[in-house]
Structure 1
Amino acid sequence: MEEVTSAAAETPGRIGRPRATSRTDLERIGFELFASQGFDNTTVDDIAGAAGIGRRTFFRYFGSKNDLVWGDFESQLASLRALLESSAPEVPVIDALREAVVEFNRFDPGEVPWHRQRMELILTVPTLQADATLRYNAWRAIVTEFVAARTGRPSSDLLPRLVGHAALAAAVAAYEHWLADERQPLPSLIDATFRQLAVGFESAIPPLG
């Protein structure tokens, strides 16, 4: 099996950059290329070449260019599930959901710029939308299953399904607002959207006339 080593070799045409040695390295290089030449105009070969690795080695890290944008999404889903499962039974369902999703979306300050770029790609690039739908379905299913388990209803019941869809919408709304105005911290925005979800919209929207 071909090993990716760090120190000595440098990429032709990219003097001074050591070879990529991790998924994170490849993500950063990919994001740099997406920013400079666009997602659709960047190929796997471009990323592999800039990283100083072969095409086959790239595919040992990621199954596709889309997968690079999402990072280790399966581990992220496992983290969300663990956060929900660790919530105390006495905590109301919506409060437990809000706290878990807020915690799930906390990032170290150094990671925030990269996460902003990741989410801007996911939410704005048309060629990523089909992939996003499938992955968000998996995210929503975790929420739906959690609500079903906490309420004693089947996951096919209307209420767990409704909460799953509403939770995803609340998270996406918070992200869209965050991308438009980076002055507001993401966890605070997610906390606000989920609190609004918990109380409904009638009091927040004045009647006409």
Structure 2
Amino acid sequence: MFAQQGFERTTVDDIAAAAGIGRRTFFRYFASKNDLVWGDFQAHLAWLEQLLAAAAPSLPMMDALRAAIVEFNRYDPADVPWHRQRMELILNTPTLQADATLRYAAWRRIVTAFAARRTGLPPSDMLPRLIGHAALGAALSAYATWLAGPGFGSVRSAGHGGTPARSGLRHVGRPGRRRIALSADPGGLRAL
């Protein structure tokens, strides 16, 4: 319905009627129609935490992060068309973009906490925060590229968006590299 009518023009009453339930029943499961698009995002975030916690300590931080993000974004091939519509809505609907800010902040906190553990810095330090923001930016950029054209054939391909951030941040977390300066280059962010 969102794809056919548009997110804003589709009401909770429309959704409830199509599902054969009452409005009150809808609100027993979802706080808003925004939540319907996101699904059980809290469970997905818990899974991301588990993936990062399970990463081998010997695996370089950015490689571990990339692997977890790719796995986090893996979908059954049968679900990919639905997921494509869902991501189109999330990335292109102003109401959902505003709602996404809170969800992305929760995602970044998980990545920032992982980076803090790996670097030995507090999560409030600039470096773990930078890694959280850069990883989210890379993931969103990969999704936007995937949605824009046929060059990315699967959701798994979208996970490769972590590569530029990984190459640009490959030196972070090493002893003696606490101070960093950033520059943009064709390979992504560069830690100097």
Structure 1 length as normaliser, TM-score? 0.79
Match status 1:152 vs 2:144: no
Q: Which amino acid aligns with 2:43?
A: S
CA–CA separation in structure 2 for the residues paired with 1:51 and 1:182: 33
Select which of 96, 115, 125 maps to 1:128.
96
Whether the aligned pair in 2 keeps the contact of 1:178 and 1:189 (CA below 8 Å) is yes
CA–CA separation in structure 2 for the residues paired with 1:158 and 1:90: 24
Moved over 4 A (4+): none
Q: For the structure 1 residues 36 and 189, does the alpha-carbon distance in structure 2 shift closer, same or farther, using more than 3 Å as the test?
A: closer
Whether the aligned pair in 1 keeps the contact of 2:75 and 2:155 (CA below 8 Å) is no
Q: Which amino acid aligns with 1:88?
A: A
Equivalenced residue count is 172
2:131 aligned residue: 163
Whether the aligned pair in 2 keeps the contact of 1:144 and 1:160 (CA below 8 Å) is yes
Match status 1:189 vs 2:148: no
Match status 1:77 vs 2:45: yes
2:12 aligned residue: 44
CA–CA separation in structure 1 for the residues paired with 2:84 and 2:186: 32
Whether the aligned pair in 1 keeps the contact of 2:167 and 2:187 (CA below 8 Å) is no
SS at match of 1:155: coil
Q: Which amino acid aligns with 1:179?
A: L
CA–CA separation in structure 2 for the residues paired with 1:159 and 1:204: 19
Unaligned runs of 5+ in 1: 1-32
Structure showing greater radius of gyration is 1
SS at match of 1:133: helix
CA–CA separation in structure 1 for the residues paired with 2:162 and 2:6: 33
Q: For the structure 1 residues 91 and 130, does the alpha-carbon distance in structure 2 shift closer, same or farther, using more than 3 Å as the test?
A: same
Matches within 5 A, 1:60-75: 60-75=28-43
Q: Which region of structure 1 is more displaced relative to structure 2, 69-78 or 177-186?
A: 177-186
Deviations, residues 27-56 of structure 1 (Å, cap 9, x unaligned)? xxxxxx111211100110100011100111
Deviations, residues 63-95 of structure 1 (Å, cap 9, x unaligned)? 100000101110010011110000001111000
Matches within 5 A, 1:3-22: none
CA–CA separation in structure 1 for the residues paired with 2:10 and 2:157: 34
Whether the aligned pair in 2 keeps the contact of 1:174 and 1:186 (CA below 8 Å) is no
Q: CA RMSD in A?
A: 1.4
Whether the aligned pair in 2 keeps the contact of 1:79 and 1:104 (CA below 8 Å) is yes
2:172 aligned residue: none
